[in-house]
Structure 1
Amino acid sequence: MDNDAAVEPARLKRETLLCALLLGVLGDLLLRAGPIGPGLVVWIGMAGTGTTWLAWRTGATRWRPVVAWSTVALLAAALMVVRHNGFIQFLLCLLLPLAVSQIIMLGWGARLGRSLPLDHLYAMVSVPFRALFGAVPLLAGATRGRAPALRRLAGVGRGLALAIPLIWVFTGLLSSADAGFNRVADRAFDVFTITELSSHLIVALLIAWAVSGWLAVVVDHGQDNRFRRIPLPSIGRDETLIVLGSLALLFGGFVVLQLGYLFGGQEAIQRISGLTMAEYARRGFFELVTIAGLTLGLLLFAGAVSTSQRLYRGLALVLVGLVLVMLVSATQRFVLYIDEFGLSLDRLTVLAILLWLAFTLLLFSATVLRGRLYWFASGSTLAGVVMVLVFALMNPAGWVASVNLERTIDQQQSLDTDYLLALGADAVPVVLERLDALPEAERCQLSAELLWRWPPIVEDNSDWRVWNWAEVRARHAVREEQRRLRVMARGCLVGR
């Protein structure tokens, strides 16, 4: 009975290594053409299936959150195929290590509704470290008590090492002896060259090594969050009052000034600040969002080290209220910024972060300040995941293009055509829809650039593993409108 209990974990770890090796081979085949595309979607689907199977094999109920976070990763990968903008794809890529980190947290019993901010922080830090070193204990546990199997595996390796050079030599001799065999051998070696085989082997093993480090957390129940063992300093009532109270006074003075801006209109802004509307809009938006993020981090740390929780909660509530007013001011500046300078993808991203911070501050007040710290970390993480997925679904590049085109059409504002086209294929249908309403110079330049960047005579023959829906849609739209575009682009095709 004891032997059976001792062997079962080792068997599970061997199955984990086999699963990682299969994922390594699939990763080499599916991701070699490029990291983003349907190949990544298929690979993540296989990785999620393997991880769920291993979690189910452990007999624990934690396979359900594994399914949930695997689904999040799968949705992120699928949206990368839909969107063509590199920045949006980068944001979606961030959800992949986040999903891995949430699965890592299951190792010490943390999950949504039962996790602290330190759990999420340590899990994110663990993702790269487990990819580098996580396979070592897995290999040690898998080989325990399996000396005969290891000897047989070593024998197989020695046999291959001896056979491959012999096959190489005799194939050369047989090819010289017969022309037909030589043609067959040439075709075989064209497909399976030593260099290419080595490349495939190295890539597959590297992927398998990283994946095995992540899969190990599913079968290892003895994990620990080491961040929880780090001793934190403590501050008393006086320190809490001085630190948080001084910040409350500073923020309060700033907010009083902002109230005049918010309710006084353009005349109050110019009279009080001495700035034009353009200067006021340009200054402060990014700084106020940064202040909100830093304040949230400070309040979390202060709540962990303060010994006077009643005083801390009162001052923290005041600070949250003041920061929320700052975020309203930042939103006002954002609207003015768009009216004056137009919309860009990074400005829209910061606005999304601002909304997430506002929600997180409200969640902080409803959870941490009421002694429910577990729900704060879970809620803010879920809000971040939803924000990124919704942000990608709404086609932000198309939205930015639409806003800037409308400014040019309705308000006769200048149009940055280079930035408009740099938004990628997601913006092409929007540009084509409003092209006729643009001034002649911008219409001519955009038509020429669209024909050059998305040439209608070029067929889409890209590898299915890196196929992109937005890119195919853009090329099809340009092909449908090519006659109209050529007419509008006359005089702008020089140099193309």
Structure 2
Amino acid sequence: MNEKTKTGLEILEAALLLGILGDALLRVTPWGLNVFLWIGTLVAAMIMLTSRRRSELLSVQTVALHVALILFAAMFVWRDSIELKLANSLAILTILSLLTLPALKIKANIAGVFHYGLAGFWSALNAAFAPFYLVFEDIKWKTLPQKGWTKHLIAVLRGLAIAAPILLVFGALFMAADAVFQGIIEQTFRINPEILFTHVFLIGLFSWIVAGYLRGSLIHAFAPENMPEVKAQTLSITESKEDESKENEAKVKEETKTWDWRNFDNSVMPKSFTLGAIEISIVLGLINLLFLGFVIVQIPYLFGGMDLVQNTPDFKLADYARRGFGELVTVAALVLPILLVSHWLLRRDKPVNEKIYRVLAGIQIVLLFVIMISATQRLLLLTGNLGYGLTTVRLYPMAFMIWLAVVFVWFALTVLRGVREQFAWGALWSAVFVIGTLHVFNPDDFIVRTNVRLMQEGRVFDSFYASELSDDAVPALLENLPTMSFEQQCTVKHKISHRFNEAETENDFRTWNWSRFVARREMTQYVESLNTANCPSHTRKNYNDDF
């Protein structure tokens, strides 16, 4: 029995265990402690298998990613906000994909954005199809020891696999044909067919995905093991020096180009698909002129604030802020891939190409920061003392733009200084920091407290929207209930009472979450003040409650 067979068998064992555990834990919602327990078990299995079979893949970077994986799983136990849960899920999937890079002989800390995308594709591909390779190619079943009970194990399993669906079909037909037989079977096995199907389906689904993912992380399918590791992902132009001799430049030009996706650059592309000094000057130069023209011409529109709104007929604050903020955030998000792709397409034959790019990209980043400041100013007007308050739709794009600002600073410190290989790794950890900060910040609680403060200053308070936020916001709602009008109080009381009734019926430890625990504790303390007997019917909304 060779090493690949041993690895494959251990992967199958871990996948089956995680499949059973996934069915037991993740079948109930809302997710909380169950996600932490399952991801923690997955991380333990990954570390154990890697240390046993591919210890060379363990490094400081992979350990850091494992720690981040556990931290994001723990976030499910902390906050209840659906937006934060989505961010955590995306972060977990991203980190899981990056953990497959070492098996591809790519170091995550010097990999490029292309390699990060490749890791996501590789992970999805393995999760979908790799179990076929694992069972029919990697594991040499004939080499397994044929002693004792294992001698006939394969034959027994094969017979059971063939007989099971036949028995299920005939059994279902007999049960449908005779009520007495159906009663005997149901009393004997006490199994609900629908529940049985969901258990089998979820165990199979989780086991399949985990087996494929672990296979892609530990067993390299396509490339030989002696291929060189990935080099720092920099364009050759960034490695060239001012005093490089013409002889070396000629040698680079004459060098035979070979495809190597591990050290992926533009050297294998035809010259017509790359950018020289003229092309990069035109592309980035025209974009910069457009940005500059927008900033100059629209200065009153960008920075006019309330004076512009008040002095312009038929011009509402909401139109002013909403129309600008979303578009400007989109502009900021589009600039990053443009700069990265244009830098990757730079020709490496002349250092002047890099110089021109650095100047034009630097100007573009400066102009972009002016536009981002304008977007921030619009949001502050929309959510400030004279605005309409905070919502998740306004807060999270702002957090995204703050992350973009950090990424652009990091871009200037890495790509524009000739160390592009450090960009993706730093951008990843900046995203980890921003998401973690949002959890500490507690957005739903902040939204309620901000909007209550604005209400006390004379602005309209949307009590229905506030009561629809997650359990993260419940303590703030209960604390500020006396400051609301009678109808606002009724709206909040109806929703919180309905939520409290639901919480009383949910006692599954798998869904335990700190915010939901605190909200339930607070609702228990305020239960006497949640009487809605005197509340008008229109404040009930559509909660379908019976209190």
**TMscore range, shorter length:** 0.7 to 0.9
Match of 2:495 in 1: 449
CA separation in 2, counterparts of 1:221 and 1:479? 55
From 398, 418, 424, the equivalent of 1:371 is 418
Match of 1:342 in 2: 389
Structure 1 residues 461-491: Cα deviation after superposition (integer angstroms, max 9, x where no partner): 43221233322322321221122232x7623
Match of 1:17 in 2: 12
Check whether the contact 2:464–2:491 (CA below 8 A) recurs between aligned residues.
no
CA separation in 2, counterparts of 1:404 and 1:446? 14
From 91, 94, 109, the equivalent of 1:95 is 91
CA separation in 2, counterparts of 1:77 and 1:42? 8
Check whether the contact 2:442–2:472 (CA below 8 A) recurs between aligned residues.
yes
Which of the pair is proportionally richer in helix? Answer: 1
From 425, 428, 439, the equivalent of 1:381 is 428
Q: Unpaired runs of 5+ in structure 2?
A: 171-182, 224-259, 348-352
CA separation in 1, counterparts of 2:518 and 2:51? 41
CA separation in 1, counterparts of 2:38 and 2:371? 44
Match of 2:513 in 1: 468
Match of 2:328 in 1: 288
Structure 1 residues 189-241: Cα deviation after superposition (integer angstroms, max 9, x where no partner): 11x56664454233212211111111113322566785838855202222111
1:246–1:419 CA distance, 2 compared to 1 (3 A): same
Query: Aligned ranges for residues 471-490 of structure 1 at < 5 Å?
Result: 471-486=516-531, 490=534
Check whether the contact 1:85–1:424 (CA below 8 A) recurs between aligned residues.
yes
CA separation in 1, counterparts of 2:117 and 2:430? 16
- CA shift at 1:184, angstroms? 11
Query: Aligned ranges for residues 413-432 of structure 1 at < 5 Å?
Result: 413-432=459-478
Give the fraction of aligned pairs with identical amino acids, expressed as a percent. 30
CA separation in 2, counterparts of 1:229 and 1:306? 10
Match of 1:40 in 2: 35
CA separation in 1, counterparts of 2:314 and 2:463? 33
Report the AA paired with residue 418 of structure 1: F
Query: Aligned ranges for residues 126-205 of structure 1 at < 5 Å?
Result: 126-144=122-140, 146-147=142-143, 152-160=152-160, 189-190=189-190, 192=191, 196-205=195-204
CA separation in 2, counterparts of 1:134 and 1:45? 23
- CA shift at 1:261, angstroms? 6.2
Structure 1 residues 272-306: Cα deviation after superposition (integer angstroms, max 9, x where no partner): 99955444322211111111111111010000112
Check whether the contact 2:26–2:35 (CA below 8 A) recurs between aligned residues.
yes
CA separation in 1, counterparts of 2:129 and 2:162? 31
From 275, 292, 312, the equivalent of 1:235 is 275
Match of 1:358 in 2: 405
Match of 2:246 in 1: none
Check whether the contact 2:33–2:512 (CA below 8 A) recurs between aligned residues.
yes
1:396–1:450 CA distance, 2 compared to 1 (3 A): same
359-368 vs 58-67, which moves further: 58-67
CA RMSD of aligned residues (A): 3.3
Check whether the contact 1:448–1:493 (CA below 8 A) recurs between aligned residues.
no
Match of 2:120 in 1: 124
Q: Is structure 2 residue 453 aligned with structure 1 residue 406?
A: yes
- CA shift at 1:349, angstroms? 0.5
Check whether the contact 2:33–2:511 (CA below 8 A) recurs between aligned residues.
yes
- CA shift at 1:394, angstroms? 1.9
- CA shift at 1:8, angstroms? 1.7
CA separation in 1, counterparts of 2:184 and 2:309? 81
Give TM-score, length-normalised by structure 2: 0.78
SS of the counterpart of 2:80? coil
SS of the counterpart of 1:84? coil
Check whether the contact 1:30–1:465 (CA below 8 A) recurs between aligned residues.
yes
Match of 1:213 in 2: 212
Report the AA paired with residue 431 of structure 1: L
Structure 1 residues 368-416: Cα deviation after superposition (integer angstroms, max 9, x where no partner): 011101111111111112211221232111111111111112x221121
1:91–1:289 CA distance, 2 compared to 1 (3 A): same
1:433–1:34 CA distance, 2 compared to 1 (3 A): closer
1:34–1:449 CA distance, 2 compared to 1 (3 A): closer
Q: Unpaired runs of 5+ in structure 1?
A: 170-182
- CA shift at 1:263, angstroms? 6.8
Report the AA paired with residue 44 of structure 1: I
Number of residues paired by the alignment?
476
